[in-house]
Chains A and B, each alone.
Chain A
Amino acid sequence: MNRMLAIVEREMRKFFRSPMLMIMSMMLPLVQLIILGNAFGGKITGARVGVVDYDHGPEAIRVREAFNTIAANIKTFTTTDYTDEMLARENVRTGKLDALVVIPAQYSRRVEARDNPQLGLVVDNSDQFTSSGVEGEMQSLVDGLNKEIVQPRLASDQQLKIVELYPYIAYMKYLLSGAIALAMFVSVMIGGGMLYIDDKARGVHEGYLATPITGLELVLGLNLAGAIKAVLSGVSITVIGSLLGGLGVIFHPMQDLELLCVIIGTAIAFNGMMFLLMVRVDDPLLPRAMFGILNTLLYFPSGAVYPIAAFPKWLRAIAIVDPFSYAVHGFKSILLKDGGFVAIRFDLLYLGVFGVVTLLLATQLFKRTL
């Protein structure tokens, strides 16, 4: 026990002697949280839409007034008049315009005659986000134009009444759960992976192996130290991220306890996984090379950035075994939904079992000799 604690002491002393390492291990998730949180999840504004009007009738004027309303209020797009449709199309193709609306000749007459009136919309769908935004706004505009001025006798506008359980969640808040998990992963990757292999390569472990320390004491000592570092990283990002994202859960002791449980479970799971991956590695370059692959393989399928329900089956299979998924789900359940222990108990169970199983496997693979 004392020998295991000696390993923990050494690791923690090193950790606190290198504050830059600690800070840098938290920078990636923080930067990602701030940049991605602000870059994604916003509405499209300022798209450039060309208008070719072959009609110039009263209905065409109604359409153009609606465009002006959008430009003045929601600002999804602004319009520019074109007389040459071919030039306007070419401008969409070359990226000078994001979309083109064509009001065909006889449009007003067809509206009055109820003769299948149509507006044309040419979109640059190489940019799905912008084209979807413009399409959505145009569809609302057309729906508004279609509204009967004289109301029919029977109601024909049945509506779905949506009840949102939680206040509007900005994308940064949505990303925070993934950022905490990512910070802990980076901490484990650096503290438990890279430094472990570096120590091996420098002969530090040779020094340990010459002492009477048992293999189990050494493995548990290294993992306990790695878990403590990951917990410190997780707690730091939870506090910083919550303040940045405007989440007040950190001021509630019960939720703090629940978050701490998820953080500890995540630390155990990540450390076990990392030690299993690194237990037979000797080359210090290997964990560095693996970092990007593991980051992509584990972080993105976890639902941290995009919902798992939107994934193809094979990607969902990765998400099912990925401890990141349970960590992210656990953090979301507390940070965004205040779900309590009921919401996180399965996540805690999976993370705990995953950590113990991987650690046991790693202990079996650990060589007590050089």
Chain B
Amino acid sequence: MSAANDNVVTRQVSGTERKAALEGQPSAIAVENIVKRYGDFEAVKGVSFSVAEGEIFGLLGPNGAGKSTLIRMMTTLIPVTSGKAVVAGFDVSKDADDVRRRIGVIPQALTSDPDLTVEENLSIYAKLYSVPKAERAKNIEEVLTAVDLLKWRGAEVKTLSGGMRRRVEIARGLVHNPHIFFLDEPTTGLDPVSRIAVWEMLNHLKSTRNLTMLLTTHYMEEADKLCDRIAIVDHGNLVALGTPTELKNSVAGANVVEVHFDRETELWRERLEKLDGVTSVQPESAGFYRVITKSGSKTTMQIVELAQQLGESLTSLSVQNTTLDDVFVHYTGRQLRDEQVKATWAMPQRPGMQP
């Protein structure tokens, strides 16, 4: 990452913390210089951040960036190598059981028992959290209502659709009324309609249950729509932290111009980079470029003029605001990270992970 980007991260972290302090919000989660090592490989390299109570906080990053490792350390599933994570006021290393009683965890894989009914799954987890018998039935009814699965309470989980199974997982994580909710890629594998339903449900839960949520995702749209703040993690480092708007503003250039030339030549990238106001050019496919610019309208005019001068024709041309995709690419680059990581070190196989 460049020195300029380092400055951005430092400025954003301090800025956000200042904002939280000003608002007088106590931290639900405070992570200080946390490290996770597997042998010589450092999966998480001294990450620090805090999450205010009632906030939805997103951990964004490419595959293998360290998001799941971070969430697992915070949920006591894997031990912390060094540093400190305080969740709901308890140190995850010293008071793991106190942490577990106050958090709900939705793992990445669908782990509800397919042979059991929705209600049986919830009941067993309520017992694992020692929810008193008198409250158990009431809690189950409430969470099933919240996730809109009340009429499916007697159905075996294996008979439900992927989206409904994900809602069962969410209900299961809430059955003991946790204060903080951890969700590891909650919409992975869902179709767009189910994904939107899960987003709406999480927003509803946040407002009705005063939950603090920390979720990992690699869907930019999800992070943009759900999260109050987002941390971008890459190679085990926190590379950016802020609200979605702050992050978008941190990327030089306010607009993205997408242009598709009829004929591809190697010179297009160089020509586009020389235009006024253009900060970067990302080739997408043959003849297709994403041009990040300070002025979308001006760059659009320049591109049309350039094409006319050269006698070239355009297949398509569009202007849009900077998205989190651009932020993500800006901070993490465009390399195929999985292959790079696997070439040097193999991550211990995660239970439930698909090869």
Contacts and interface: CB of A to CB of B under 8 A. Distances in A.
Interface stretch (B1-9, B95-103, B191-199, B243-251): B95-103
B128 A213 contact: yes
B83 interface: no
Contacts of B115: 13-14, 17-18
Nearest to B131: A2
Please report whether the interface of chain A is mostly helix, strand, loop or mixed according to DSSP: helix
Interface in A65-86: none
B223 to A, nearest CB: 23
A10 B117 CA distance: 11
Contacts of A155: none
Nearest to B108: A203
Interface stretch (A40-48, A204-212, A254-262, A293-301): A204-212
Interface in A282-338: 282
Interface residues of A, number: 28
A369 B109 contact: no
Nearest to B353: A203
Given A2-B127, A202-B351, A208-B128, A370 B120 contact: no
Interface stretch (B59-67, B69-77, B254-262, B279-287): B69-77
B76 A9 contact: no
A6 B351 contact: no
Interface in A186-211: 200-211
Given A17-B116, A201-B351, A211 B129 contact: yes
A13 B116 contact: yes
Contacts of A96: none
A5 interface: yes
Interface in B141-164: 156
B215 to A, nearest CB: 15
A203 B79 CA distance: 18
A9 B100 CA distance: 22
Interface in B109-144: 109-113, 115-116, 120, 124-125, 127-130
Contact of A204 (B79, B103, B111, B120): B111
B75 A203 contact: no
Contact of B351 (A205, A211, A213): A205
A110 interface: no
Contacts of B110: 203
User: Which of A206, A208, A370 counts the most B-chain CB atoms under 10 A from its CB?
Assistant: A206
A6 B125 CA distance: 8
Given A210-B75, A282-B349, A370-B78, A202 B125 contact: no
Contact of B107 (A5, A14, A203, A282): A203
B120 A13 contact: yes
Interface of B: 72, 75-79, 97, 100-101, 103, 105, 107-113, 115-116, 120, 124-125, 127-130, 156, 172, 349-352
List the 10 closest pairs (A to B, CB-CB), nearest first: A203-B352, A6-B127, A203-B109, A210-B105, A211-B128, A203-B111, A17-B115, A212-B100, A207-B111, A212-B97
